[in-house]
Amino acid sequence: VTFAEETRVRAVGGGAYAAVIAEGWDVLGNTNGGYLLTLAARASMEEAGRPDPVSVTAHYLRPSQAGEAEIGTTVLKEGRRFATVSAMVRAGGQDRVAVLGSYGDLEGRGGFERMESAAPDLPAPERCVRLEPTETFPPPVTGKIDLRLHPDDAARLLDGGSGEPRVSGWFRLGDGEPMDTVALLLAVDVFPPTSFNARLPVAWTPTLELTAHVRARPVPGWLRCQFSTRFITGGFLEEDGEVWDDSGRLVAQSRQLALLPESR
Amino acid sequence: VTFAEETRVRAVGGGAYAAVIAEGWDVLGNTNGGYLLTLAARASMEEAGRPDPVSVTAHYLRPSQAGEAEIGTTVLKEGRRFATVSAMVRAGGQDRVAVLGSYGDLEGRGGFERMESAAPDLPAPERCVRLEPTETFPPPVTGKIDLRLHPDDAARLLDGGSGEPRVSGWFRLGDGEPMDTVALLLAVDVFPPTSFNARLPVAWTPTLELTAHVRARPVPGWLRCQFSTRFITGGFLEEDGEVWDDSGRLVAQSRQLALLPESR
């Protein structure tokens, strides 16, 4: 079963789309947030007739599990370059994920470039550590993808964390399935949280909000990904992500706001 | 006239709020996007009964000018800690700004802290360069606030830019009016764009999307702000902002996705 199949949406009229939240995308018993975002993006893109997400924001209202879902969409603006769409992922009779996004066509966009840094330096994928799914950590969702952590991060995660809230590694879909720009929305939310490396006094940092910017369509091959957190304060932390394709091009950036549960 | 007065919203029933887009908040003939966001946030907060924005995303659909406006709001989720609200700023019969945000109460939140960096180093406000409004640059909106650029940034801006897409300085409301967390949504979108310092081959970089995370209520006094851009590619640039209060606390972070118009 491919990612393309497991993120398929079907128009049912009135801006609504039927989807199935597939089995096995779980983290701690709940469906991965990046996967849920891909469903909302596919419905929004189809409704607006645009091939790529450009800037997409999700607010996570309630956890979700596998099963039937409906995505309601409303096109707010149809512009020349972008369409802006509001979407809601509903399952089990409840709203789960609210999404606001702008979508467009990222084919062949170029122009002036200025890059402060290049793709992260990683050992070759075969020298990195593939996360294999367990019931706890690594979570079941890692069985759906091919995620290979930098060996330093992998060793430190198992050893209680480096103390530095950073994580990096390679990402591709299972069996090397080709990745469209929607797959990037999964890539930015499927790595172990930076908090796992930071020796925080909490077991989990739930995501309140995630925004992804897609800059370009990735060329075929592995994605290089890195995530870091600069500020843990006020009961929140941000997690910033970068995704680079196999040609060394920045294809996506992400930032999420996660909650630091109060320790007791 | 105070910021509090010029961002007042009035419930008119059915989740709708009446507001007036005040005169003088202009940049190049259009109302500043941060100011428009504050109207949406005030309406959303009132509708949800929450005192602070926590994570707020705006997609800018069309430019706006001064005049009557209506903000339509829909509460999507009422949680224990957060309420999530969708809002639309309408004026002149058209949708202008779509906003999705989560709101809560940031009073006295604390807990574990880990900070990668501290507030930016700035000369005292009286040794920085206050931007005074003109019809072009600095824009009229600078007459509504007290914005003082780092002297290096100010000198370079006038000299065509340092080449580094960064800008920093002090911010407060006019006459030192006390700032609530909504004022932070203005602070993150009212500095000269980083592109002005970067010698880009364009005159303006319109904002497609802006997300602000509010971490804490600011103590009275000046805000220290800095903005930087790491990646100009694919026809887009991100602009990341940090806002620190007078006690040295990070009170807000922001990221916007701006368009690099194709040079001809």
By three-state DSSP, how is residue A100 classified? strand
- Residue B159: per-residue pLDDT: 72
A112, A181, A207: which to substitute to probe chain B, counting the most B Cβ within 10 Å? A112
Segments of chain B scoring below 50 in pLDDT: 264
The interface pTM score, or ipTM, of the predicted complex is 0.96
Sequence-ordered list of residues with C-beta below 8 angstroms from that of B160, at least 6 positions apart, any chain: B199
The answer to whether A77 faces chain B, any CB pair under 8 Å, is: yes
> What single-letter amino acid sits at B11?
A
- Residue B263: per-residue pLDDT: 55
Q: Is the CB of B59 less than 8 angstroms away from the CB of A84?
A: yes
> What single-letter amino acid sits at B142?
T
| Residues in B 21-50 with any Cβ partner in A closer than 8 A | none
Q: Is the CB of B59 less than 8 angstroms away from the CB of A76?
A: yes
Q: What is the pLDDT of residues A224-248, one digit of tens each?
A: 999 999 999 999 999 999 999 999 9
Over 90: is that where the pLDDT of A158 sits? no
Over 70: is that where the pLDDT of A105 sits? yes
Over 60: is that where the pLDDT of A264 sits? no
Q: Residue A155's pLDDT band (boundaries 50, 70, 90)?
A: confident
Q: Is the CB of B115 less than 8 angstroms away from the CB of A257?
A: no
- Residue B155: per-residue pLDDT: 79
Over 50: is that where the pLDDT of A70 sits? yes
Contact B59, A84 (CB under 8 A): yes
d(CA B56, CA B39): 12
- CA dist A28 → A24, A136, A137, B261 (Å): 11, 6, 8, 44
- Measured between beta carbons, the chain B residues lying within 8 angstroms of A208 are 54-55, 82, 102
Over 80: is that where the pLDDT of A159 sits? no
When comparing pLDDT for B155 and A161, which is higher?
Answer: B155
Q: What is the pLDDT of residues A1-45, one digit of tens each?
A: 999 999 999 999 999 999 999 999 999 899 999 999 999 999 999
**SS3 labels along chain B:** CCHHHHCCEEEEECCEEEEEECCCCEECCEECHHHHHHHHHHHHHHHHCCCEEEEEEEEECCCCCCEEEEEEEEEEEECCCCEEEEEEEEECCEEEEEEEEEEECCCCCCCCCEECCCCCCCCCHHHCEECCCCCCCCCHHHHCEEEEECHHHHHHHHCCCCCCCEEEEEEEEHHHCCCCHHHHHHHCCCCCCHHHHCCCCCCCCCEEEEEEEECCCCCCCCEEEEEECCEEECCEEEEEEEEECCCCCEEEEEEEEEECCCCC
The answer to whether B107 faces chain A, any CB pair under 8 Å, is: no
Rounded to a whole number, what is the distance in Å from the CA of A216 to chain B's nearest CA? 6
Q: Is the CB of A234 less than 8 angstroms away from the CB of B110?
A: yes
Over 50: is that where the pLDDT of A114 sits? yes
- Measured between beta carbons, the chain A residues lying within 8 angstroms of B54 are 208, 236, 257
A94, A181, A215: which to substitute to probe chain B, counting the most B Cβ within 10 Å? A215
